[in-house]
Amino acid sequence: MTSTVESVYEEVLRRNPGEAEFHQAVKEVLHSLREVEKRHPEYADARILSRIVEPERQIMFRVPWVDDKGQVQVNRGFRVEFNSALGPYKGGLRFHPTVYLGIIKFLGFEQIFKNSLTGLAMGGGKGGSDFDPHGKSDAEVMRFCQSFMTELYRHIGENTDVPAGDIGVGGREIGYMFGQYKRITNRFDAGVLTGKGLDWGGSLARTEATGYGCTVFANEMLGTKGESFDGRRVVISGAGNVAIYAAQKVEQLGGKVVTVSDSSGYVVDENGIDVALLQQVKEVERARLSEYAARRDGVKYVQGGSVWDVNCDVALPCATQNELDEAAAKTLAKNGVKVVAEGANMPCTEGAVKVFREAGVLFGPGKAANAGGVATSGLEMQQNASRDSWTFERTEEELTSIMKNIHDTCLATAEEYGTPGDYVAGANIAGFKKVADTMLAYGVV
């Protein structure tokens, strides 16, 4: 029996019922692989596709903890160790009430190809919990993280599986988890988590990396049209780690970010988003965006509504999956958007991507455009392994060169496989081939 794009997709639907986001992520990748399938029958013979859509290991566990009122709470924890062909499983942890197995599997699947594109030795994995850090005290977050790590620690290690942050998991959570890991194991294994604090094995520029990388990638896309961010009007969704640093880099490159958003609304700031104020409101105070609008003159706060109604040259969706649908894509295209690059994971629906393609809007998929975060996690692992710490400049230089390289690889691969200018095909094919060739080399394992 061989595996084909069609039969594998049907099998994925059948064996993973109810996991819509995972189906969506798999469909997009498989769709890009038709030409690869024709040119490389060896993959079908070895059933690479059937193997690559099946996680190597899926871990689900109970996370009990006690809240500030003394009540017992129970959450569910996940770690999906998807593919370790290229290196230890690598990928973030997401703490958000929408988390279920289908979300973690979509993210873990994307991570395989994203990590492959970075050129660093990292496999793909993802984890998290349906725990909602929003509105919880520091003490509650700490107790949850300690309980989560009390189970997770036995599955991870610098050569096995290296988690990091994602939505709802930043420096605070990584600190609590690293502390608990160190206590349980009695080992200072710096390389077991990335996104650590600078005093205990973290890397300079890791905090900025996903956002910076996304903007650098979008700038390269603009470059193919002989343009740059200079003087460009930019719409960014989200107001978390990715959005904040994407905005900062746009500003450094001479562009103007006019919006950011959170789950309750968005702000329009025609003077350009004040990144320092945004950091204060979102990162220090963990407050709502309405607070940003309240503290700055001339800012419009729109409750609800769609940030994609705001006209722009470049759109960077940096919030969450499926936040930009077909209707929003049509509005953006009508308003003249030239480039869309995904800072979040799969923020554009399948319908939205189709609209961009048909309208001739350049579209950079997340597994390429937001790879800067995990790439810099890879650089953090290198620093940990050599007990070294690099300067901000050196780390950012490496990040920038990785992003440019991913951009060029996407274009060259798209060209080679007959879809010039298609970043989705380029990213999927280039990311896939390296993993597939390695799986062939290993035999059936």
Sign for the pseudo-dihedral over CA of 388, 392, 393, 398: positive
Judged by CB under 6 A, does residue 241 bind ligand GLU?
A: no
Reference 371, options 114, 82, 93; nearest CA is 114
Pairing verdict, β 89-95 and 124-129: parallel
Closest-by-Cβ residue to ligand GLU is 92
Say which amino acid occupies 71: Q
Q: How far apart are CB 372 and ligand GLU at their closest, in Å?
A: 9
Binding to ligand GLU in span 72-111, by CB under 6 A: 90-92
Nearer to ligand GLU, 91 or 426 (CB): 91
Stretch that binds ligand GLU, among 51-59, 74-82, 332-340, 369-377 (CB under 6 A): 369-377
Find the binder of ligand GLU among 219, 261, 345, 384 (CB under 6 A): 345
300 is catalytic: no
Judged by CB under 6 A, does residue 166 bind ligand GLU?
A: yes
Q: How far apart are CB 61 and ligand GLU at their closest, in Å?
A: 20
Judged by CB under 6 A, does residue 146 bind ligand GLU?
A: no
Q: How far apart are CB 424 and ligand GLU at their closest, in Å?
A: 17
State the Cα–Cα distance between residues 27 and 9, nearest whole angstrom: 7
- Per residue, the 3-state secondary structure of 264-327, as one string, reads CEEEEECCCCCHHHHHHHHHHCCCCHHHHHHCCCCEEEEECCCHHHCCCCEEEECCCCCCECHH
What is the crossing angle of helices 101-118 and 372-385, to 10°? 70
Find the binder of ligand GLU among 36, 48, 104, 164 (CB under 6 A): 164
Judged by CB under 6 A, does residue 269 bind ligand GLU?
A: no
Nearer to ligand GLU, 390 or 417 (CB): 390
Distance of CA 306 to the CA centre of its chain: 22
Site size toward ligand GLU, by CB under 6 A: 11
Find the binder of ligand GLU among 374, 381, 414, 424 (CB under 6 A): 374
* Helix, strand and coil in the chain, % to nearest 5: 50, 15, 30
Which residues have CB under 8 Å from 37's CB, separation 6+?
4, 5, 43, 44, 49
State the Cα–Cα distance between residues 18 and 20, nearest whole angstrom: 6
Find the binder of ligand GLU among 75, 203, 237, 377 (CB under 6 A): 377
Find the binder of ligand GLU among 194, 261, 384, 413 (CB under 6 A): 194
Q: How far apart are CB 232 and ligand GLU at their closest, in Å?
A: 25
Judged by CB under 6 A, does residue 116 bind ligand GLU?
A: no
Catalytic choice (90, 105, 114, 126): 126
N- to C-terminal Cα separation, the chain: 17
Pairing verdict, β 161-165 and 89-95: parallel
**Contact predicate 153/180, CB 8 Å:** yes
Q: How far apart are CB 46 and ligand GLU at their closest, in Å?
A: 28
Q: How far apart are CB 110 and ligand GLU at their closest, in Å?
A: 8
As annotated, the active-site residues are 126
The residue ranges that bind ligand GLU (CB under 6 A) are 90-92, 114, 164, 166, 194, 345, 373-374, 377
